[in-house]
Structure 1
Amino acid sequence: MSLRELFFGFDPATIAKHPECFQEINDVVDSGGKRTVPMEVLSLSLSRTGTASMQAALSILGLKTYHGFQAMANEHFNLWLAAYENKYHGNPSSECPKLDLQFFDKVIGRFGAVTDMPTSSFAEELIDVYPQAKIVLVSREENSWYKSWGNVMFSSYDSVGLRIAAWLDPRRTGIFFKVFIRGVVQGHFRSNSGEQFRRNSIPVYREHNETVRRVLKERGEEDRLLEYRLGQGWGPLCEFLNRPIPEGIEFPRVNESAVMDEKMKVIMLNGVRRTAVRWLSSYYTLSLLLVAAAWVSWYVVQGTTLAS
């Protein structure tokens, strides 16, 4: 990815690497809002706990896995924003009247597993609506998590470039930013400032993991839970899911920070580019209309002159 792509269009390699940043018709439309495969695995850890690696691992095991990257399709963002409004701000809507099976099947009906946010923000609801699914909770040393979390989340909150891109491109980048601010920062992390967001992050991280454990314990379903630690490899996960260890394939290790950093740059550049193209197109259309109006006026005047 390069700045050149802002002016001359994105390279096919960039689009292939980050397809969700360019997607216009998403899985909600394709699935008709119905579940097409059983929900088998809910990996409910917060972002920055190796969720991209877990997505890759579950995919290798044959599970189509929903990650936060998939939410980057515009319609998904609208639905997740409605879900955050419902749960954390008490504002149900026509897009999300209830956080029930019907709603979640509409959003993630073509996926047999989930990982990362925004799904992990709805851990309790997902545990309830998919009672047959197994639960994975990835543990990461909290100071290490906080550093990784902050590299993306705090920098995104502080990013002037992202705020400008959201203002310039409200239909897509703007919705993404609303989900982040209204849903993650103000909702899940109960924060109304950057300082509060930083202060609340570790307590909410602890609280989230304890909530997953508590809900399953209250239901008497602790056997649904695998507490997985980064670096354990295939063994515990495959045993828990009753799947054979993939031969000759190492457990994936995705550099999530680098991937997310690049996706954020693509989102911002694409938002600015879309706005520029829209403005230029509008200017071009207006210019054509003015030329056409001038020509019609000239034609009318000439016709009048000739007639007289």
Structure 2
Amino acid sequence: MAENPQDLGMWVEALKAKYEPSPGVKPFGRKEFDNLLGPYGGCTDQPAVLFNEELMAAYPEAKVILRNGNSRFPESIRPVLCHGGPRVHGTYSRETNLIARHYFGVTHTAGPKSFTANAPFFEQWQASARSTYLKHNDHVKQITPPEKLLLFDLDDVWAPLCNFLGKPIPDVAFPKVNETLAIQEKIQLYIAESYKRSFIRFAKRVAPVAALLIAVAICRLRASRCGPAFEGAYVTDYAERLPIHRGTRRIRNCLEVWLLIYAVIRLCE
């Protein structure tokens, strides 16, 4: 999801279909997951981990690799979310709230404009993060056929992973990453994409309003250059001279007022 934020909208649809379904809305199946995951050979991390049963039912031929041992993941992500202060808008907050509420049991959701908007959100998340992580691993072990499951430790070498997947062992060292740093980089991707989407939405709202305001300003500027003759009697529009009456001016003024009201409403949405 971090590398393909354009798919986030479909993930939110999948989350809502599973946890907060509307009447007539079915959970995601093979067809829906093909639309979402078709180009990829595998998936990991959130929000895919919330669809264990659904993904196994949709792709019974798939293999499952589960991180073994006492992972430091909950501790690695805590300083990033709780102390990094990233502002993540729109769809990212909705996706985060859905995961927190239904996966981690967080009842106090994050604010609509920030991961760090409300302290109770993170207090509840921290209290349940490790137990939820361990419960998730136990659940995956229970529902996955043994021949389809590999318990893999990141301290291992290539051989167990490659043998499980039926792939040749690469002639390079097994990659090692700083887990906390890797999570921080993902969060930065979320933030950058969030600001990008926010700017695009803002531009779409402002552009038509700005065009109308500029048009009004140009008309008023032309009127001021024409002097009293424009306001009192006539205006030159190409080759024609059109009478401007008080009623016309009142209509114009009313339209300008409504335009300003419309602009304020659009900008506040």
* Fold shared per TM-score above 0.5: yes
Q: Write the deviation string for residues 14-60 of structure 1: whole angstroms up to 9, x where unpaired.
A: xxxxxxxxxxxxxxxxxxxxxxxxxxxxxxxxxxxxxxxxxxxxxxx
Q: Tell me, yes or no, if the aligned pair for 1:137 and 1:227 is still in contact at 8 Å.
A: yes
Structure number with the bigger relative contact order (C-alpha 8 A, sep ≥ 6) is 1
Paired residue for 2:9, among 49, 55, 78? 78
Matched residue SS, 2:35: helix
C-alpha separation in 2, matches of 1:304 and 1:145 = 74
- Give per-residue Cα distances to partners, 1:134-157, cap 9 Å, x unaligned: 110013524x2221121334457x
Residue 200 (str. 1) matches residue 134 (str. 2): no
Larger CA deviation: 263-272 vs 234-243: 263-272
Q: Following TM superposition, by how much is the alpha carbon of 1:268 offset from its aligned partner in structure 2, in angstroms? A: 4.4
User: What is the RMSD computed on CA atoms of the aligned residues?
Assistant: 2.9
Q: Partners of 1:232 and 1:160 in 2: how far apart?
A: 33
Aligned residue type for 2:2: F
Secondary structure of the equivalent of 2:235? helix
SS at match of 1:304: strand
Q: How does 1:204-223 map to 2 (within 5 A)?
A: 204-216=132-144, 221-223=145-147
Q: For the residues of structure 2 that align with 1:109 and 1:122, how far apart are their CA atoms?
A: 16
Match of 1:227 in 2: 151
Unaligned runs of 5+ in 2: 109-120, 244-269
Give the number of equivalent residue pairs.
217
Please tell me whether the aligned partners of residues 80 and 118 of structure 1 are also in contact (alpha carbons under 8 angstroms).
yes
What are the ranges of 5 or more consecutive residues in structure 1 without an aligned counterpart?
1-67, 167-173
Match of 2:235, as an amino acid? V
- 2:118 counterpart residue number: none
Give the secondary-structure state (helix, strand or coil) at the position aligned to 1:114.
coil
Seq. identity, %: 20
Aligned partner of 2:94: which letter? K
Alignment of 1:219-258 (within 5 A): 221-248=145-172, 250-251=174-175, 253=177, 255-258=181-184
Equivalent residue, structure 1, for 2:242: 304
Tell me the TM-score normalised to structure 1 length. Answer: 0.61
For 1:71 and 1:263, the matched residues in 2 are separated by: 10
Would the aligned equivalents of 1:138 and 1:228 in 2 still touch at CA under 8 Å? Answer: yes
Query: Residues 100-249 of structure 1: matches in 2 within 5 Å?
Result: 100-142=29-71, 144-155=72-83, 159=85, 161-162=87-88, 166=89, 174-181=90-97, 183-193=98-108, 194=121, 195-216=123-144, 221-248=145-172
